[in-house]
Every structure is written in structure tokens, then in C-alpha cells.
Chain A
Amino acid sequence: MDAAHLLPLLGVLLVILPLLRNSEAEPASTSSAILYLFGVWFGLVLLSAMFSRLLKEQNLLKEQKELDQEQGDAP
């Protein structure tokens, strides 16, 4: 859950990163910039999908636990 909270910060960092490089000293080709950006983008999608899967499982577990507790309380 905490890691999922941090994901957008990582995203912002990676997306802002191109601003830091000195383009005059070492000009980058547009094609590599495209590959970098879309790579970062796809990475974010994958990580987000992974987290959402984890969260879903966690929620299921939690619901199950609550259910168990309720049943445990009943008798």
C-alpha cells in the first residue's frame, strides 16, 4: 500500500528527469527520447497493474478475515 502511494512520485521524477540533462553538451536523438518516455510510461502501467492486483488480493483477504470473525462471533 505504501509502495503504491510512492509510485506517482517515482513517475513524476522519471518524467521530469529529461529537464535536468544538459542538451547542449550532449544532444539526444528524438527517437531515443521517445523510447525513454514510452518505456517509463509502460513501466508505470505495469507497476500500477501489479499494485492493483496486490491490493485486490489484500482486500479479498481482509473481507475474508472479517467474514471469519463474524462467523467466529456468531456461535
Chain B
Amino acid sequence: MVGFNMLIVVCLAYVVLLFVIAFFADRRAALGKLGWLQSPIVYTLSLSIYCTAWTFYGAVGNAARSGLEFVTIYLGPTLVMVGWLWIVRKLVRIGKTQRITSIADLISSRYGKSNLLGVLVTLLAVVGTTPYIALQLQSVTLSFAVFADRAPERVSSGWDLPDLNATALWVAAGLALFTVLFGTRNLDANERHHGVVTAIAFEAIVKLIALLAVGIFVVWGVASGPSDILARIDASPIANWELRPGRWAGLIFLSAAAFLCLPRMFQVMVVENTDERNVLTASWAFPLYLLLMSLFVVPIAVVGLDLMPAGSNPDLFVLTLPLSQGQDGLALLSFLGGFSSATSMVIVAAIALSTMVSNHIVMPIWLAATTTGATVSGDVRQVVLMARRISIGAVLALGYAYFRYSGGGTALAAIGLISFTGVVQVLPAMLGGIFWRRATRVGAAGGLIVGFIVWGYTLFLPSIGGANILPETVMLSGPWGLGWLRPQALFGIAGLDPVVHALIWSMVLNTLVFCLGSLLSFPTPLERLQGVQFVNIFEHSTGPRGWTKSGVESEDLLVMSQRILGPEQAQRLFQHEAQAQGKAGFLPDTSPDFLELLERELAGSVGAATAHAMIGQITGSARVSVEDLLAVADETAQILEYSSQLEAKSAELGRTARQLREANEKLTELSVQKDAFLSQISHELRTPMTSIRAFSEILRDMEGMTPVDQRRYSSIIHDETIRLTRLLDDLLDLSVLENGQVVLNEAPVRLHDVIERAVSASSQAQTTQILKVRRDTASEMVTLVTDSGRLSQVFINLIANARKYCAAPDPQLTIKVRKYETRVEVDFVDNGQGIPTKSQSLIFEKFSRLSDHAAAGGAGLGLAICREIMTNLGGTIAYLPGQGGAAFRVSLNLKQVV
């Protein structure tokens, strides 16, 4: 006998195992060792969240009540996956190229990045999914109750165990915790959660094994083999089931459509897809999984009806049948199967919904509320993540509330199909969006709203309402006595099954409004562009541009991107793009290509509509040029081919021209600098020389000088010669470094010691201002092989610069160390004014002093020396724009410590 306590222990152990699996998968992914994490098997198994607790327990109950009809729920998805070349392939490709984050994002992005549509689909998804989550909670609590009813503790201690509401609450809270931990760990640019997906793949195996084990036990343990089972089937009450043609065809269509439209299915099928080729395997492996899941459903139902006392709930046969046969271990396994079906569905649904809510509802409101716009500094990622965490909590709380409100009764059992019917209202807009270029936003919104209303009126409200929401008279004779408006017999067509009735009317009206609305309205330019990109996704993956060049500063874009993608990733992206354009540093030209790419990257985090709006805030309006529209209008293959060749050539030319222009600018600047250098050096040499000459003449010619004066004058001469020597030393140092003749004393050294030495050395210098240095000593514990003296020379220089030039009233310098696999980066960021963009490329040149006043003291050689030292050490030093103050990044390769 499995005790209730034992059940709790097993449950907790299972949950801990899930946490461990998710944790290790996340860690592997973070280390970049993806390997099997993106294998087709994991992908196929993750699709199995289609099989929720509703199917795990409910399929048997369904079979006991209406015979073979239960297979329709699995045949629909089977047909979709077998026919993956038609729809799934296109969805996955669109999802990847457009960085789609959810089904709401897909619809909004297709119809001109309209946020209205995103909100509509999000609402639809929340309303359609909440009852479904309640259903999962119910199934878990019911299965708990099965064990609790039989638990010995109940008899012995009088412990009131089956408090279903408390169980549901605990389950909901636990699921929220798991989802928050692994679903909102980071704002991944492509919105993938390896930990969650791996845990779900594991749960898929558990539920399959559990159901197969019960089935095998029933066929070979209770009955005596397949032929016996077939005979029993024909003899059981199930054999009297009737094929209802409307329901049969309707449910196959419904389940196929739901498979494409359910937010959680879209999440695992499109968003979490790591490799398009995985779909190839899933096209047969997933139908096979469904086949195995439903193989033993009828046998279990038949034997259950046979052996269990009359009146027992067939929905729980999977659990009660092994228990009644004394197979406690098997019952426990089956319990875990049901548990994992419920948990995996809830987790993925919560992630999918929270992404939609945060991207389409919270972010737009936040963007509108913060009037300062997208360019202020600060991290938006925290806002997005917090929005997601709160949405996850809210979604689960809604599910729990629905569970409490509906009383967890039998009404919930029917909710699966009702929920499906609600969610598939997205289908016309989705299929129209990827196959019909003429589909417009107006049509899509109209279709969605009409479908949603029809569904609510004919199916959802009658199902939950009872007499409170829709009075009896409305159900029987229609509102205001209008018979043709009866919720379950619209337009006088009575006698249909309610689900089929609602499905047909909602789909027909939805599609009708969608088509009419699209034909009668005119798509905006952006809609046209997106439409072509979606419909012809396989013809040309890089479509026409949505942005034309405008006078936008790429530094502003960098500041914004850092807040969404995180500093590291944004800097890497910008640097990479700058390199691709043939530029050094972190700031690429804001070409339309670059804006397009950036928008797509951002869309991966916050959704297409928000990303578009954010870039739009910075660049002004989204303008679509005439050429872009022409590209849409005529697109025969040759023209495209030709224009893409031209485009490649002009891009090449553009790159070369940019390089030339840059080289030319640099040469001009260098020549100006060279002149400046000469006059500078003569000036620098002349000033001390003049005073040396003057004072030595005084010493020579003045008679009767006091020893005090004598000492004073000679010490002035001495000081001036020291200044001269230092200048000459610097010049010498620079030329030695430039010619690569320097001898480096490389030895293993701890970065912490180098920074420590640099900080203390530069604080000994005469201090006019107090500079606060903020460091994170723990991260500095990196050992590297380098010339510590030279490196600390660089650091001292940077710290001294911050001391000299940081004009903030309360000067601060932050030193950040980040270690990567092959290199280490040290950032020096102060809170001053920073360096203007136009001067950023000059500061590393000799004698470049930005401020003219000589108060700075140096000759403008410091950073030039730093750069040469870093080159000699095999590293780099660069100015890091967009950090709020002047910021320098020193980057060093990590050599192996021998």
C-alpha cells in the first residue's frame, strides 16, 4: 500500500530530479556545449506536451464513454506532422528568420508589426489557456485524492488528507517557482530555454513509459494477450459506440488546428526549435509517439469497465486499475506519468503566455509611460524579466482561481475541447498570413474578434455560465426572443453537437470576415513588406528593407541595445557589424541592413512590434522607400537574382568606399597631427629650454647672489631638465614599442595584483581630486601570463586619465573584469562626460589632447603608449562608447599557465 506520505516523498523527489535536469541542461547550454540538447529526439519529445494530463487520464475516460472517438485528438496532429512540408516547415523557417517569440508575435509581425493584433492574440490565448491550466491542476489533485482515499494515515490518525484546494495551490505554486527559475533566467536573444525543454523531454519519456507499462500490464497481466483483448473489446459496452460523422471530422480538424495554434505548441515547435532539420525527424517520430500513447487506451478502458465497480470514474482508470489489482508500484509510475503530463503542459504554457503578455502588453505600456524614450541608460532587461515573472505567477493564479470557481467538477472535463476551439480562432489569420499576400491587418483583427465573440457566445459562456451568465430563456429561445440567435443553434441550425456547432460557425464567420476585411482594406507599406517576406519565405530569405538610412547616431542605438540584449552581447553584435562594414571599433554605420539586423535581434527579446517601436523612437519614423515597394511589386526570379547580384556588388563597393574614405580621413587627420606634432614637440622642448637658458644666464651673469637664490634657480633648471628627460623618455619608449624592439618579462601573474599596484601607484601621485575606485575583487582573481610591469603601466595611465579628466562633481571609476574562455577583458568606466564620437578614433594617436588647456600636464603620449604596449602584449585597448562616461576596454589573451 502506497501511503500518502510516500506519495509526497516520491513527488518531491521527482520534482527535485526535474530541477537537476533543467539545471544541468542550462549549464551545458551556457557553456556552449549544446550537443544532444538540440538533437531531433529532444525536439520530438518536447512536442509531446501536446499530450497533457487531459489526454493521459482523459483519453481512457473518453474511450469508455464514446469509443474510438478519442483517437481524433491524436489523428489531427499526426496529419499535420506528416504533412509538415505544407505548414510546419514554413512556420519554423519564418520563426527563425524573423526571430518570432510567440504566436502573438507571429501574427503581429506579419500584419505590419501591429501591436493591436498582438494584444488580441494574447488575450485570446490567456482566455483559452486558463481553463486548460485549471484542468491540469484538477487532474493532479484528483490523482492525489485517489491515493489519499486509500491512505492508512487517514484511518489511523484522522488526518483530513484530501484537501483538494490546498493540493492544487501547492502544485500551482511549485510550478510557478520552476517556471520562473528556468523560464526567465535570462532574456535570451532567441528566446530558447534549454533547461525547460530538456526537462520536458524527460517528462515525455516518463509519461510514455507509464502509459505503456499500464497497457502492457492490462493486456498481458490481466487479459491473456492481444486476441483476448480484442474479444473483450467486442464484448464490452464500448463496442456499442457510434461513429458521429460531424464530430469525427470536426474533431480531427479541431485537433489539427489546435496543434498549430496552441501557444505552448507554437513555443516548442517554432520558438524553441534549434535546427530546421529536426522537423524532418519529428515528422514521423512524433506521430509514432502519439500512436504509442493511444495504443493501449481502449484496452485499459475495456478492462477498467469490466473490473472496476460500476460508477467509478473512467477518467482515473489508468490509476485505479493497477491499484485495484494490488500493483502499487505500477500505480505510482502511472501517477508520475499523469503528474509529468500536467506539469510539462503548465510550465510551457506559462512561459509562452508570459512572453506574450510581457512583449505585447507590458512593454508597450512601459514604453509609452517612460516619456524619456528608449535612449536613457539603465537596464530594460530587468523590466522585461520582472514582467515575465509576474505574468507567470498571474497565469497560474488565474488557472487556480478558475479551478476554485468551477469547483473542480465534471464541467472541467469538457473544457479541453472548448479551450481548443477558442485557441484555433487564430488559424485563419495565421494561415492567411503565411499563404496569402493580400491579407491585411484589418481583416485579421476583424476575423479574430468575430471568431472570439462567436466562440464565447456559443460555447464558452454556455459551458461555464449555468443560469448566472446565460439565463435558461436565452439558451432555449434566444436573446430578446430572437430564435435564430440561440447560442447552440445559430441561424436556426439546431441538433448539432455543441462543439461542432461552435467550431463551424466561429470558423466560417471568422474566415469570412478575415477575407472580406482583407479585400476591402488596403495594406500599409510595412504590411506589404512583411507579407512578402512571410509568404515567399523560401524564395528570398532576405527581403526588401524596412528602414531607410537616416541620420541616426549608432551610439544611441548601442545604448538602447545594451539595455535589452545586455552589454556584452550588444557590444559583440556592434563590433561584429562594424568589422563587416570594414570599420574598427564598436560603432558601425547605421545602414538599412544594420537597422534591419538590429531590429530582428531585439525582436528576439521583446517581440517584433516593440522592437520596431523602439528603433522607430530613435530613428524617427519607419520610412519605406519607393524602391522597396517596387521590389515587392515585381519579383520575377531573374530580376531578383540580378538585383541581388547588384546588391552584393554595391555592398562590396560600399564597403571598399567606406574603407577608403576612412583611410583618407585618417591620413588627413594624421597629417594635421603630424604638423601639430612638430609644433607641439618644438613647443614642449622650447618651454623648458627657454627657462633653462634664462636661469643659467642669471646664474652665470649675476654677481653676489645669495646661496638661497642660487639653489632655487639651479633647482628650477634641474626640474626643467627632468621634464625634458621625461618627454624624451616617453618618445623613446614609444619608438621602441612601435618598432617592436621591446623586451617583455612575461611571467604568470594575478590580475588582482596588477590592478592593486596600479591603483595604489596612481593614488600616490599628487591628488587634487578624490577619485573613488569601485572594484569587484572576486572577479579579478584571474591568473595570466604577461609582463606585469608593462600592463600596470597601462592601468596606471587609464586611472590617471580618469583622475585628470573626469569632470563629475563626485568622480568615480569602475573597474570591471570579465573572463572568457580565451581572453579576459578589463573595463575602466568613469562617470564623466565621456569622449565625443568624432574624437574617439583620435585619442590613441600621439599628442592628441582633447582639452587644449595644458593643465592636464602630459604631452598626450599616454594612450598612444598604452596602445603600443597592448599590441606588444598581444592584446588590445579600445574606447567603449555608450557607457555613460569615458570607458576603455583592455582585452588580453589568456595564455596557458605553464
Q: Is residue A69 contacting chain B, with contact meaning CB distance below 8 A?
A: no
Give the chain B neighbours of A12 by CB distance below 8 A: 79
**B291-311 contacts to A (CB < 8 Å):** 291, 295, 298
Give the chain B neighbours of A38 by CB distance below 8 A: 291, 295
Q: Would you call A30 and B243 a contact (CB within 8 A)? A: no
Give the chain A neighbours of B284 by CB distance below 8 A: 45-46, 48-49, 52
Q: Would you call A56 and B86 a contact (CB within 8 A)? A: no
CB closest chain-A residue, reference B295 = A38
Binding site for A on B (CB under 8 A): 67-68, 71, 75, 78-83, 85-86, 230-231, 233-234, 238-239, 241-243, 245, 248-249, 252, 277, 280-281, 283-285, 287-288, 291, 295, 298
Q: Would you call B233 and A7 a contact (CB within 8 A)? A: no
With A7-B82, A41-B291 known, 16 other A-B pairs at CB within 8 A are A8-B79, A8-B82, A11-B79, A11-B83, A19-B243, A19-B248, A30-B67, A30-B68, A30-B241, A37-B68, A44-B287, A45-B284, A47-B82, A49-B284, A52-B283, A55-B280
**A1-46 contacts to B (CB < 8 Å):** 1, 4-5, 7-9, 11-12, 15-16, 18-19, 23, 29-31, 33-35, 37-38, 41-42, 44-46
Instruction: Given A4-B85, A8-B86, A55-B280, check contact A45 B288 (CB 8 Å).
Output: yes
Q: When the two chains form the complex, which single residue of A5, A30, A41, A42 contacts B86, counting CB atoms closer than 8 Å?
A: A5
Give the chain A neighbours of B242 by CB distance below 8 A: 23
Q: How far is the CA of A72 from the CA of B743 in the complex (A)?
A: 48
Instruction: Given A16-B249, A19-B243, check contact A34 B287 (CB 8 Å).
Output: no
Instruction: Given A34-B68, A37-B71, A45-B287, check contact A23 B243 (CB 8 Å).
Output: yes
A-B contact list, 11 entries, CB within 8 Å: A1-B85, A16-B252, A19-B243, A23-B243, A30-B238, A30-B239, A41-B78, A48-B284, A52-B283, A55-B280, A59-B277
Q: When the two chains form the complex, which single residue of B79, B243, B280, B288 contacts A56, counting CB atoms closer than 8 Å?
A: B280
Give the chain A neighbours of B233 by CB distance below 8 A: 30-31, 34
Q: What 8 pairs between A and B have smallest CB-CB spacing?
A: A8-B83, A49-B284, A48-B284, A31-B230, A30-B239, A52-B280, A19-B245, A45-B288
Q: Would you call B234 and A44 a contact (CB within 8 A)? A: no
Q: How far is the CB of A56 from chain B (nearest CB, A)?
A: 6
Which of A19, A33, A34, A38 is most buried by chain B, counting CB atoms within 10 A of its CB?
A34
Q: Would you call A52 and B234 a contact (CB within 8 A)? A: no
Q: Would you call A18 and B248 a contact (CB within 8 A)? A: yes
Q: Would you call A41 and B75 a contact (CB within 8 A)? A: yes
Of the four ranges (under 10, 10 to 19, 20 to 34, 35 or more), the interface on chain A belongs to 20 to 34
Tell me the interface secondary structure of chain A in the complex.
helix
Q: How far is the CB of B300 from chain A (nearest CB, A)?
A: 13
Tell me the interface secondary structure of chain B in the complex.
helix
Q: How far is the CB of A49 from chain B (nearest CB, A)?
A: 4
Which of B78, B234, B242 is most buried by chain A, counting CB atoms within 10 A of its CB?
B78
Give the chain A neighbours of B85 by CB distance below 8 A: 1, 4-5
Q: How far is the CB of A70 from chain B (nearest CB, A)?
A: 16
Give the chain A neighbours of B79 by CB distance below 8 A: 8, 11-12, 15
Q: How far is the CA of A49 from the CA of B291 in the complex (A)?
A: 14
Q: Would you call A11 and B245 a contact (CB within 8 A)? A: no
Give the chain A neighbours of B231 by CB distance below 8 A: 31
Q: Would you call B82 and A48 a contact (CB within 8 A)? A: yes
Give the chain A neighbours of B230 by CB distance below 8 A: 31, 34-35
Q: How far is the CB of A32 from chain B (nearest CB, A)?
A: 9
CB closest chain-B residue, reference A50 = B284
Give the chain A neighbours of B287 by CB distance below 8 A: 41, 44-45, 48
Q: How far is the CA of A47 from the CA of B545 in the complex (A)?
A: 41
Q: How far is the CA of A11 from the CA of B83 in the complex (A)?
A: 9
Q: How far is the CA of A16 from the CA of B251 in the complex (A)?
A: 11
Q: How far is the CB of B413 from chain A (nearest CB, A)?
A: 23
Give the chain B neighbours of A44 by CB distance below 8 A: 78, 82, 287
Q: Would you call B248 and A7 a contact (CB within 8 A)? A: no
Give the chain A neighbours of B67 by CB distance below 8 A: 30
Q: How far is the CB of A66 from chain B (nearest CB, A)?
A: 16
Give the chain B neighbours of A16 by CB distance below 8 A: 248-249, 252
Give the chain B neighbours of A5 by CB distance below 8 A: 83, 85-86
Give the chain B neighbours of A8 by CB distance below 8 A: 79-80, 82-83, 86
Q: How far is the CA of A48 from the CA of B83 in the complex (A)?
A: 9
Give the chain B neighbours of A41 by CB distance below 8 A: 75, 78, 287, 291
Q: Would you call A48 and B283 a contact (CB within 8 A)? A: yes
Q: How far is the CA of A59 from the CA of B80 in the complex (A)?
A: 22
Q: How far is the CB of A44 from chain B (nearest CB, A)?
A: 5
Q: How far is the CA of A22 from the CA of B486 in the complex (A)?
A: 33
CB closest chain-B residue, reference A18 = B243
Q: How far is the CB of B243 from chain A (nearest CB, A)?
A: 6
Q: How far is the CB of B138 from chain A (nearest CB, A)?
A: 29
Q: How far is the CA of A42 from the CA of B288 in the complex (A)?
A: 7
Q: How far is the CA of A15 from the CA of B242 in the complex (A)?
A: 16
Give the chain A neighbours of B280 by CB distance below 8 A: 52, 55-56
Q: How far is the CB of B19 from chain A (nearest CB, A)?
A: 34
Give the chain A neighbours of B83 by CB distance below 8 A: 5, 7-9, 11
Give the chain B neighbours of A42 by CB distance below 8 A: 291
